[in-house]
Structure 1
Amino acid sequence: MLIDGLQCGHFDRDAFEALRRGNVGAVTITAGFWEDVTESLDSIGRWRDLCTANADIAEIARTAADIRRIAGEGKLAIIIGFQNTELFGNRIRLVELFAELGVRSVQLTYNNQNCYAGSCYEAEDSGLSRFGRELITEMNRAGILVDLSHVGNGSTLDAVRFSKKPVAVTHANADSLFPHKRNKTDDVLHALRDNGGIIGCATYRNITGDHYCATIENWCTMVMRTVEIAGIDHVGVGTDRSHNFTKPDYDWMRMGRWTRGVDYGAASAAKPGKAAPPDWFPRVEDIGKIEGGLAAVGFTPEEVAKITHGNWLRVYEAVFAS
């Protein structure tokens, strides 16, 4: 099976069915970007309702054992994740409460610096703050994976070295392969390896580039080069695929409530709208091409299994509360 370390958007039954056709056994969804405490609770409630209404095909997973069981039953395991820490409302005790509600992955910052750390888009990276260290300690204790995808490289290094449990860059690529503020430098990937963590290689064109989006072989070659940097045990898949997104969704994702102006996120004024999916990945179910693509560029069956699901399961087993 395939585990996707991060997707976002408005999921529905059609999305669930397409993912299953692509042999996806588990996916971390994005339950929020800028949502506050109450809005985050609403989002979790909607996800519970959605999974209840589609219980024959999808189920929320809280542990690695849940993922194995749900996927083994031919269903899609849903891992609840957030791409920002707004859900905690700057209250350390809410970490445990949200963990009890099933939240299993939270990104330390989104596109702006916050009280925990610096974002990849700030001119200067502030590093991990005192509160950030407290938050990581609490997330480690509560069984929530620390996601560092949009975090500045300096803050990411601080967080990787401070965390007592493996951390993740759920959806990004190596900056040495495609330079972008959202991607991670080799020293970060080396630290991630030393921490026992994982990077989920993305397919989002703005941070992957036209060359690696052109064919499945090109993208899998990028994965192979990432393995050369981080090691075979520390690379997975994190497509950053979105479902049913429209302009208001992109505006919220990029600008939230924090600006009256325009922010393009990983896009640009020249390419302000939705990025085209990779040429090899026009339909959601085309994610199923990844396993064969990895084999075609030279990965052994054992290595393919690690990249497609084994490495994620190892991290989840080490982090999620049992």
Structure 2
Amino acid sequence: MDAVSDGSTSPRAAETVLADALVYDSHGGVACFPDLDLGFLSRWRQGGASFISLNVGWDALPWDVSLRCAAHYHRWLSMRPEEYVIVDKVADIHRAKQEGKLAVALDLEGANALDKNIEMIPLYHQLGVRHMNLAYNKNNEFAGGCTDSEDIPLTALGRAAIAEINRVGMMVDCTHTGYRSSMDIMEVSRTPVLFTHSNPRALWDHKRNIWDDQIKACAQTGGVVGIVGVSKFMGEEEDFNVDSFVKHIDYVVNLVGVDHVGLGLDAVLDPEETPKLCEIYKRFMPIEEGEDPGEQVWNFVLPEDFLGVTDALLKRGYGEPDVQKILGGNFIRVASQVWG
């Protein structure tokens, strides 16, 4: 949608569209700590979200810590049924919306959480994990990572993992995955494949972003690309704002159509987390020459920005049905196919 309207869309119109939408944030970027207080989730509900997926493990963690995180998050949520609904099926998201609650599922960023055993996948599914990818930036026994020096194909163990993910009813995610492995995954998965929080590399040439042919392959599976709201993956820091976020949405829409784009903010809310994350990113993120990882700037599109994103889409000429698809309807469609 390159054409921009005359800007006459009123704030009330955006509020109405947001209130009616099922807003689906496909990935919350909170770091995984097995004793984390999840009270920050109230900001998603107050911002207008219907659903968020929280990562409970990534390849920077030992497998047992990821498992502890999943158990802790599931227990924390289950003890607060007046505020949260743990998602099993898509009907749970609709129920949460009707009851004024936030629907929450869990996800895994990388297969290290499996301890090299695909038998762990059904266990994570029982604990509320509803999508996962196989590699977090670096190569492992399952698949290649997007920032590793060697672009490896999907391994035999990775193929077995995808088959098991399909079998138990999780969605397959290729964010953070290497190019060759992601293309292999999209070829072998029996269900639509997601990039839950990835931006088009044609707009910003960062190794964490994805090429046009990856986006097209995702759409051909029936999948969705969730636009990530992390400044480092969007463009120059001085250009960081909601409009730059929406430009990435526009790009994917123009490339593959409005049915294949959604939101995956990857927002980190606790300022004290950023130094901790940077220490971990030293091993898992490409650092620019001469750059101090501890001094990197990290800005985020936040849950409070859902209204601004809605308004920006309307002002760019998107009709309300398409805005609702982008805010969550597209991910809901895939989840309905995979979770039931």
Select the residue among 25, 43, 50 that pairs with 1:25.
50
Match of 2:11 in 1: none
Match of 2:329 in 1: 310
> Helix, strand or coil: the match of 1:276?
coil
**2:136 is the counterpart of 1:110:** yes
- Alpha-carbon spacing, 1:40–1:211, altered in 2? closer, same or farther (3 Å): closer
Give the distance between the partners of 2:83 and 2:58, measured in 1 at CA: 26
**2:230 is the counterpart of 1:204:** yes
Select the residue among 285, 288, 298 that pairs with 1:265.
285
Q: Say whether the 8 Å CA contact 2:26–2:197 is kept in structure 1.
A: yes
Select the residue among 40, 43, 47 that pairs with 1:15.
40
Moved more, 90-99 or 142-151: 90-99
Gaps of 5+ in 1: 255-261
Instruction: Give RMSD over aligned pairs.
Output: 2.0
The one-letter amino acid paired with 2:119 is R
Q: Say whether the 8 Å CA contact 2:109–2:136 is kept in structure 1.
A: yes
Match of 1:259 in 2: none
1:121-166 per-residue CA deviation (whole Å, 9 max, x = no partner) reads 1222111111111111110011111111101112111111111101
**Identity, % of aligned positions:** 28
1:273-294 per-residue CA deviation (whole Å, 9 max, x = no partner) reads 453325xx4x542233211111
1:209-255 per-residue CA deviation (whole Å, 9 max, x = no partner) reads 13795332332132111111122111000111113224234323x2x
Structure-1-length-normalised TM-score? 0.89
Select the residue among 295, 304, 307 that pairs with 2:314.
295
1:167-216 per-residue CA deviation (whole Å, 9 max, x = no partner) reads 11111101111111111101111111110111100111111113795332
Q: How far is the alpha carbon of 1:300 from its aligned partner?
A: 0.9
* 1:182-201 alignment, distance < 5 Å: 182-201=208-227
Give the distance between the partners of 1:57 and 1:289, measured in 2 at CA: 25
Q: How far is the alpha carbon of 1:53 from its aligned partner?
A: 4.1
Question: How many positions carry a matched residue from both structures?
Answer: 310
**2:178 is the counterpart of 1:159:** no
Q: Say whether the 8 Å CA contact 1:175–1:185 is kept in structure 2.
A: yes
1:56-108 per-residue CA deviation (whole Å, 9 max, x = no partner) reads 22221121111111122111111110111122111122212221222111111
Q: Say whether the 8 Å CA contact 1:264–1:272 is kept in structure 2.
A: no
Q: Say whether the 8 Å CA contact 1:217–1:296 is kept in structure 2.
A: no
Match of 2:106 in 1: 80
Give the distance between the partners of 1:61 and 1:235, measured in 2 at CA: 22
Select the residue among 279, 284, 288 that pairs with 1:251.
279
Give the distance between the partners of 1:27 and 1:311, measured in 2 at CA: 14
Q: Say whether the 8 Å CA contact 1:211–1:218 is kept in structure 2.
A: no
**2:123 is the counterpart of 1:97:** yes
Q: How far is the alpha carbon of 1:50 from its aligned partner?
A: 2.1
Match of 1:225 in 2: 251
Q: How far is the alpha carbon of 1:264 from its aligned partner?
A: 6.4
Q: Say whether the 8 Å CA contact 2:27–2:52 is kept in structure 1.
A: yes
> Helix, strand or coil: the match of 2:204?
coil
**2:297 is the counterpart of 1:275:** yes
Q: How far is the alpha carbon of 1:45 from its aligned partner?
A: 1.9
Q: Say whether the 8 Å CA contact 1:16–1:57 is kept in structure 2.
A: no
> Helix, strand or coil: the match of 1:106?
strand
Gaps of 5+ in 2: 1-21
Structure-2-length-normalised TM-score? 0.85
Q: How far is the alpha carbon of 1:32 from its aligned partner?
A: 1.1
Match of 1:57 in 2: 83
Match of 1:2 in 2: 23
Give the distance between the partners of 1:248 and 1:215, measured in 2 at CA: 24
The one-letter amino acid paired with 1:171 is H
